[in-house]
Structures are given as C-alpha cells and as structure tokens.
Amino acid sequence: MGGSLCGVWVDDAGRVHTTVATADGARETRTAALRPFAWLGAEPAGLPAGVTVEALRGEGAFRFLAHAENREAFDAFLKTARDAGVDSLRPIESQFLLQNRARLYRDLMFGQLRRCQLDIEVASPSGSFPDAARPDDRVLAIGLRGAGRNHLLLLEQPTDAAEKSLLLALNAALAELDPDVIEGHNIFKFDFDYLRQRAKRHKVSCAWGRYGQNASFRSSKLKVAERWIDFTRCDLPGRAVVDTYLLVQLHDITTREMTSYGLKEAAIYFGITDEDSERTYIEGALIQRVFAEDRARFCAYLEDDLRETQGIADQLLPTYFEQARTFPTLLQEATLRGATSKIDLLFLEEYYHARQAVPAPPEVQPFEGGYTRSFQEGVFRHVLHFDVASLYPSLLLHIARNPRNDTLGVFIPLLRRLREYRLKYKQLAKTGATADERAEAQARQTSFKILINSFYGYLGFSGARFGDGELAAEVTRRGRELLQALIDEFALHGATILEADTDGIYLSSEKFHAEPEKLLALVAPILPAGIELEFDGRYAAMFCYKAKNYALYDGKKITLRGSALRSRGIEPFLKQLTGQLIRFLLGASPESPVVAAEAFRKQIAARTLPVAELAKSEILNQAPEAYERLIAEGGKPRRASAEVALQLSPRPRMGERVNYYITAKAKGKTSDWQRARALALHDPIAAPYDPDYYAEKLDDWLERYATFLGIKPLPAVSEQGELW
C-alpha cells in the first residue's frame, strides 16, 4: 500500500477511501476495493447477482462464507439471508482491515499522529444550564489545538448570523488542520452534540470528516464497570473522535482512585495541572460575563482547557493507539469496545484467511475466581508487595491448551507471539537510543501487557467466540494453588501476610524491608518453570481495613484500594474525615480526625456547615424517563438520586452525576427518596437540610472506625458528650 494508513471509510457504494501518511508527514487520499463478506450458518437457498458463497473447512456453527461484489449487493443479501444465520463484522471498515491484514498507524509513532483537541464555550442568557435547543443560547467560542498551536474561533457579536459564521469557520479550520484524531473532554455528550444542534438551526453542514463527508450521529451507550453511560455518538469518516471523559472512567475501573471525572479534577489527578498552579478558572455561570468583559482571561481559560485535554490524552490514548496498530479496528472503536470483541477480531482474521468454519460463542458456566483474602486488620509497618508477572497468561502458556472450539489452534500461538512482542518492547523501553523511542516502547509494552492479560478474561466471558469456561477454571485453580504456596513460603521466612489478591501478596517484614531481593531469592525457587515472581513495591505503612480495601503509604504518596475507603458517593464532610483518618493512621499526619468530627457535629447542629459539604453525588444508572415510567407502572424501589433527576431541567442523562441533600422530615415524608432535593435547588429557608440526619451519618462513621482510632464504642445519644 505504501505509507502508513491513518484513516479508512467505506462509502455506500462500497468504495474504500483511505488516508495515508507519506514519508514527509503529509496526508494523501487514495481509494481501494472491498468485497464485503459475512459468515453463514447454512447455505442459502438462492443467491442474488454479485454474491458468491463457499463452504469452509472444519467444524463450526458458521460453515459458509459469502462475498459480495459491492455494498449494494451485500446489503440486499443480508436482508434475504437472515434464515441462514448471518454473522457480519461491523463497522464495515473492520472488514477491509481484516481482509487485507491491514492496520491503522502501523508504521507511525504516537508522536506522528495528527491530533486536534476541541473545546467549546457557550452562552445561556437565561442563566440556566446551557441548552442548544433554546434559540437565544449560542456558541461563544470554539477552541482548537493542533500542530502545536491554539486556534480560537470567537463569536463576533450575539447574532444568528455571527454564530453561523463561527460554525462555518470550524468546518474550514478542520479541513485545514486535517487531523487524524479529534479529542475532547465530554465531546460526545456536550461539544459535538451542542454544535450539531446549532448547525442544524442555522442550516450549516457538520463537515468535520474527510473525503468531503459530514459527521453522522446516533444514540449509543458504553458500559463502564457496573454502570452504563448514555451519549450521542459522533462518527467522522476518515477520522477518530476520542472522548477523554470516557477514557478517564475506563482508566479508573482498575485503579478506583478518582472521585471526579471532570476535566479540571482529572488534570490534577494525572499531574497535568498542579493544584497550586496559576491555571485560569472561571465558574460556569460567569463564562458569558467574562467573555464580554475580560476577553484575555476568557481565552486563557479556553486554552487551559485545551492543554489539559491534550495532557490527559497524552497519557491515556497511547494504549488505544497501540490497539489500533494490533487489531483490525478503527481507533474510535478501540476506545469504545471491550477487550472481548477486539480479541475476537484477531481470531476471526486467522479463520477468514484459512477459510475455516467459525464457532458461535459458547455458554460459559460460573466458576471459582482468583485467590482473594485479607489476613489482618489495622496498621502495619515495613510493608512489601510481590506479584506473579502476568500470572494467568503465564499459566495458560504453561498449560499450552487451546480453547475447545478453536479448531484452527490459534489461541496459544497468538498469545505466545504477543508475549514475545511485549518482552521485546519492555527491553527497548530500557535500552532505546532516545527518550522518544523509550517512551514509545513503554507505551507498546504496556498495551501488550494489558492485551495478554485480557486473554484469560476472554476465556471466561460468555460472549467470547472462542471462550472456554473449563480452561478458565483450570487456570484460576492453578493460580489459587500457586498463591497459597507462595503465602506459605513467605510465612516460613517470618513474614506477616497482610493481603492476597489474584496474583499479588502484601506482607510485613522488618527483616527484609530494606533488602526485598533477598526474600525474593528465598521464595522464587518454588515456582514452576515459566512463572516469575517480582518485587513490586515497598511501603512505610499499610492500613488494612477489610478484604480488598486498604491504604498504602510510601513516605510521600498515599494510595487507596477498594471502594470502602473512597466511595465517590460519600458526603464531602465524611470524605474529608476519612482522608484525615487515613493520613493519621499511616503516619502521614499527626492530626487525628476526632477533633474535626466534633467540630462538624457542632456546625451541623447549628446548620452553619455549607450544604455542599453534605450533598451526596451519585451517577444515574437509569435514564430519568425510564425511571419515571417504571414508577408510574408501580415499580420499585424508589431512589433518591433518580427522584432528584426528575426535579432538574434539563434532566440529566444516564451516566451523569446528580448532587442532592436531605431535607427535614415532614408529615408523610420520612424516606430519603421523599426528602432528597437537588443541590442546585437548595433553599436554606424553605428547604433546609436535616441536622439530625447528618448527625446520625457522623455517628455511623465514628462507630465504623472507632477501633482503629482507639476510642470507645459509640455510647447512647444522651452520653455523646463523654465520647471524647
């Protein structure tokens, strides 16, 4: 093909439009051919013109492969072949990549990717939350950052004609910058959706794609851990749209450390902006006024938003960039799809080219998971952490057995090849000639590490085409046995075992704290061939609260694990007390939270504690309209956060946060859901918060941590004055 592929789009006729990066960094547009294809469970009775079907080798639910000469014939065939059982790849661009064994960005480094950050600021003359459907609301500014420069497009005057000109200027700017990727924080749910609505109002096309194409929009949702996020997805032919708001949440699935996913908070968390920096902040309600009265400050604020968006993407996007280089998929799909569907693509590529029958995803029965146990409660010093490197992939390679329906036998060879790639880049991350080469290698080895660790999870997932629950169960059984053997061996050498979880062990050892390598050398010989134990961290102290919930302190930084110590839904004043408790217990601060708790008690009783310190923050796991219908039909349970969503205008969407407080009890209103009120609607006179409710919350907190603080169990209410 020549050059590195960095954009693909298949038009309605089936022509493939590609963008290729040339040696000098330019972008060149080309066309290519595609024969759309689908797997079939049975041979269809008749075939339309332009479609051929061939029988495949081996056993599998999908034993036939159909190819079409063009998109029109393919789409017509799919409508008539449903009875034959059709399995077709979507989006169709993945078919082109798989068919040609092509990959996006194959010969590009991450730094050579053409990236553009986008952020908009809007005006809401009514003073309420911005709503693009209101005629008088409008776009004030569109900020773009690309090619190392900021491009700020500003509204000249508050008129429809000026806003239309602004939207046309955006089209021209994107055509000139010609980015491979457009990045934004909450770009799907806010920026692009808002721009779409204003463009429709002014009859301006959303000409943001390549090949002269407009953006397309559709309702979508993404599952992040246990919750779903609704958003209006935007697709741009030849480009990828990356929402850092979603990437941040996907990142936090494993770390569970973040309390907010907003741009400003995320920038501080990732170290892009220091808490004490001179970053320009403007409250949302003041954006319009500052735009009119202090244009320099407004522009500085917008530029800081662009800088922080780029900084977050700098850290989180390389993993997905590497996935696009590894899987036959688009970058945008890589950010929005789970590991299972991406791994499936690698297997399907091999089966397609081998003309081998493809299996249907098997049903996977539940099986026992990894080893998880908390051995101690309290605070411990001289803490060491050891873990088994890539435990489950290593055990899979040790067992060397392919899933039962992998008739082509590609699973283990593919896993072995990916592991070799990872080790290669891991070494290059240490020995690369330049800092850029080492950083690129580090990103690649991290991506491959995530990928090979996903192979085990793939086996146990019911939607995985080559899943095998029995093999997954065998891996976890051996993993549990191995971890128990390591625990016993560490104990033989005098270590106090604190916590064990899947592939890692935390222990306390004063003897080996300064020389963990010696302890590692004593224990490692019990491991089977090909399984490696690694020293992964040294800590001054560890607070063990309960299973999978603990805090670590390395003398500088505190790291929390588990939701019990950092629930995002906990009231801010209790969150503050918990943070103070952890710092105190770990020796990072001499200040006990007991005195602060008493101060909070007095402020709550006098209602002088700001309501924002008491307001709970929860993410909606159901659309307000769906909840409203459920309740109308007699459904239960009623939920405070959902009730609050019904109070707001415009209503928040599923996946968004609502903040609320609890008002005083009234006749017929005693439950939380009946007394919950949106923080934005707080009225200290007509609807003040309930001090008794929050005093009880404080009592519960004290009772929970009384043992660790060394105070007496909570006495009766009449005796609370003697608690201290």
- Whether the ω angle into residue 91 lies within 30 degrees of 0, i.e. cis, is yes
- The fourth-level CATH superfamily of domain 572-722 is B family DNA polymerase, thumb domain (1.10.132.60)
Q: Stretch 348-352: mean pLDDT, rounded?
A: 97
Instruction: For residues 310 and 680, give the distance between their C-alpha atoms in angstroms, rounded to a whole number.
Output: 31
Using CB atoms within 10 A of its CB, is residue 51 exposed (0-12), middle (13-18) or buried (19+)? buried
The pLDDT tens digits of the residues spanning 370-415 come to: 888 999 999 999 999 999 988 999 999 999 999 999 999 999 999 9
271 vs 650: which has the higher pLDDT = 271
Sign of the CA dihedral with 322 first, then 323, 326, and 331 last? negative
Distance, in Å, from the CA atom of 452 to the CA atom of 703, rounded to the nearest integer, reads 44
Q: What is the pLDDT of residues 632-650, one digit of tens each?
A: 999 889 999 999 999 998 8
Read off the DSSP letter of residue 607. T
For residues 571 and 575, give the distance between their C-alpha atoms in angstroms, rounded to a whole number.
Answer: 6
Contact 386, 534 (CB under 8 A): yes
| Residue 699 in this model has a pLDDT that exceeds 60 | yes
- Cβ-based neighbours of 331, under 8 Å, separated by 6 or more: 104, 105, 180, 181, 240, 242, 320, 321, 324
Q: Which fold has domain 110-318?
A: Nucleotidyltransferase; domain 5 (3.30.420)
pLDDT band at 669 (very low <50, low <70, confident <90, very high): confident
CATH superfamily ID and name for 372-409+461-561: B family DNA polymerase, palm domain (3.90.1600.10)
* Mean pLDDT computed over 38-61: 92
155 touches 141 (CB < 8 A): yes
Tell me yes or no: is domain 4-103+329-354 CATH 3.30.342: yes
Topology match between the domains 110-318 and 572-722: no
What is d(CA 232, CA 165) in angstroms, rounded to the nearest whole number? 24
pLDDT band at 713, cuts 50/70/90? low
> What is the residue extent of each domain of the chain?
4-103+329-354, 110-318, 372-409+461-561, 572-722
Q: Residue 724: pLDDT above 50?
A: no
pLDDT at position 715 over 70: no
| The predicted structure's pLDDT at residue 653 | 76
Given a cut of 60, whether residue 113 has pLDDT beyond it is: yes
Mind giving me the DSSP string for 430-447? Answer: HH-SSHHHHHHHHHHHHH
pLDDT for 718 beyond 50: no
Average pLDDT over residues 514-528: 95
Q: How many CB atoms lie within 10 A of CB 27?
A: 17
Is this prediction's pTM over 0.75? yes
For residue 115, what is the DSSP state?
A: E
What mean pLDDT is predicted for residues 592-606? 96
CB of 127 within 8 A of CB of 134? no
Structure tokens at 373: 């146990």
